[in-house]
A and B are shown apart, each in its own frame.
Chain A
Amino acid sequence: MSSLDSYKRELEIQRQARRVAEAQLEDKSRELYQKNQALEAALLQLKEQQELLIAKEKQASIGQLSAGLAHEINNPNAFVQSNLESLHKYVFQLTDAMQVLLSKIEDSDPRFVNQFKHNHDLDFLLQDASDLIQESVQGSQRIQRIVQGLRYFSQTDQRDGRQFDINSCIHSTVELISHEPELQVRINKQLSVLKDCEGNPTLMSLAIGNLLKNAAQSHPRSGEISIRSEQVGQEIRITVSDDGDGIPLDQQPKIFEPFYTTRQPAHGLGLTISQAIVRQHDGRIECSSQPGQGTDICIRLPTAP
């Protein structure tokens, strides 16, 4: 039999061994936790990149489709428009010619001319033909504008690799918008120093301008909308906020869809175009809105490498 002293000594040894084991367990747990954090972060990044990839692919196919569509529509629409314009001229000329003819006949037989005009509703026909043609020209011009909008989707990879400062895009866009008479709101700018972004500043200005227009059209209660820029790590965030109508929750997923609109007259292309441009710059655009409270639309862009 071992002595009591031996057991005491062994107890002390085992206690120490336990302390060592516990310390190791703690180290390993911490290590595991940190690795797990890193893994989760990596997973999130992967998911975001996957989404971006899917979005880009969609963009590319929408791009192809809309480029083809734009071309197909543009050509016939162009000749419809120019034919309508000629037609308009012809109607005027025909009207004039008929006036001359009728006045000649009127000299010898005024009753006949009166009767003739009346029977054939000539005054109405001539006026209405002119109105119809004018409306058609306007319709065709509208088609042209929409098709122009479609053009932005086909520029998937045509962005140039210029480095530019988003803040200067914001300045020039705000300047531009403030000259549009139907967008009379104050625009409050809160800009931070930003790293450069890579891409096409003209397109980016357009993307930002669409957000400002929407905000201005949202009936902001304060009569003011705001645009904020900030640098968060390697990400640039541009947020356009208003305290206007807001967007019903069930409609929020749709606002980036082409032709989705609740406004008259409107094309429902503003946000679609903004999103396409932002995606071309490897960024994302997000909406957060409270119906009746207002809307934040946020563009998140990577800084130039």
Chain B
Amino acid sequence: MKGAVFIALQEMIMEEFDLDLWHQLLDAAGSDGVYTATLNYDDQAILDLVAALCTRLELSREDALRHFGRYLFGFLHRGYPVFADSKPDFFDFIASIDGVIHMEVMKLDDQARPPKIEVHPHPAGGIQLFYSSERNLCHLAEGLLQGAADHFGIAIEIEQVCCRLQGADRCEFRINQA
């Protein structure tokens, strides 16, 4: 996972709590805390940090990832505003994650492994979003989606139809504007 994601997590902890908590998480996860945005680090390290956070604050893994995802969107957008700024609305933007945003990520770094995201309009309205990744971070995705909705100033309802952690091929979300 990119160092940028670790740095986002640190920024979130420092904004919402303090440096001491971050150091406690580093110690609990056995990390030296030295992260550079453009380098790649072991996936397990981010999961260990999130796990430490959950223990400290008595959060579920799902809630912690959702919360972090929502923050992460703002962080990524500050770094790369062009992607969201070039789209007129939330749904257009979501449709461009796989083919544009994550594609650009891979162009700059062939070690990067962003998830596979597939988006279709749903016959009953809204969209259907499929997420697949070895990392199984569907709750992070859900948070990122919420973050994007915040950015475009709309409220959305997200329902997770199925999850790879519970045996599905891939995770599926239904997203509607509230």
Q: Please give the residue numbers on chain A whose beta carbons come within 8 Å of chain B beta carbons, in ascending order.
A: 1-3, 6-7, 9-10, 13, 16-17, 20-21, 24
Contacts and interface: CB of A to CB of B under 8 A. Distances in A.
Nearest to B3: A17
A10 B34 CA distance: 10
A17 B19 contact: no
Contact of B19 (A2, A20, A21, A24): A2
Interface stretch (B35-43, B80-88, B144-152, B167-175): B35-43
A16 B34 contact: yes
B33 A2 contact: no
Closest 4 CB pairs of A and B: A2-B19, A13-B33, A16-B34, A21-B36
B20 A24 contact: no
Contacts of A13: 32-34
A24 B36 CA distance: 9
B2 to A, nearest CB: 13
Contacts of A16: 32, 34
B23 interface: yes
16 contacts: A1-B18, A2-B18, A2-B19, A2-B20, A6-B19, A6-B23, A7-B19, A10-B23, A13-B32, A13-B34, A16-B34, A17-B34, A17-B35, A20-B36, A21-B36, A24-B39
B34 A3 contact: no
Contacts of B36: 17, 20-21, 24
Contact of A9 (B18, B23, B37): B23
Given A13-B32, A16-B34, A20-B39, 10 more contacts: A1-B18, A3-B20, A6-B19, A6-B23, A9-B23, A10-B23, A13-B33, A17-B34, A17-B35, A20-B36
A15 to B, nearest CB: 9
Interface residues of B, number: 12
Nearest to A13: B33
Interface of B is mostly: loop
Nearest to A10: B19
B71 to A, nearest CB: 20
Interface string B136-161: 00000000000000000000000000
A170 to B, nearest CB: 52
A304 to B, nearest CB: 39
Nearest to A16: B34
Contacts of B23: 6, 9-10
Contacts of A17: 34-36
Nearest to A19: B34
A167 to B, nearest CB: 50
Given A20-B39, A24-B39, A6 B34 contact: no
A10 B35 CA distance: 12
Contacts of A20: 34, 36, 39
A254 to B, nearest CB: 50
A157 B29 CA distance: 73
A9 B32 CA distance: 10
A185 B29 CA distance: 88
A20 B3 CA distance: 12
B65 to A, nearest CB: 24
B79 to A, nearest CB: 15
B14 to A, nearest CB: 9
B40 to A, nearest CB: 11
A24 B23 CA distance: 25
B163 to A, nearest CB: 35
B20 A6 contact: yes
A305 to B, nearest CB: 34
A10 B20 CA distance: 10
A2 B32 CA distance: 18
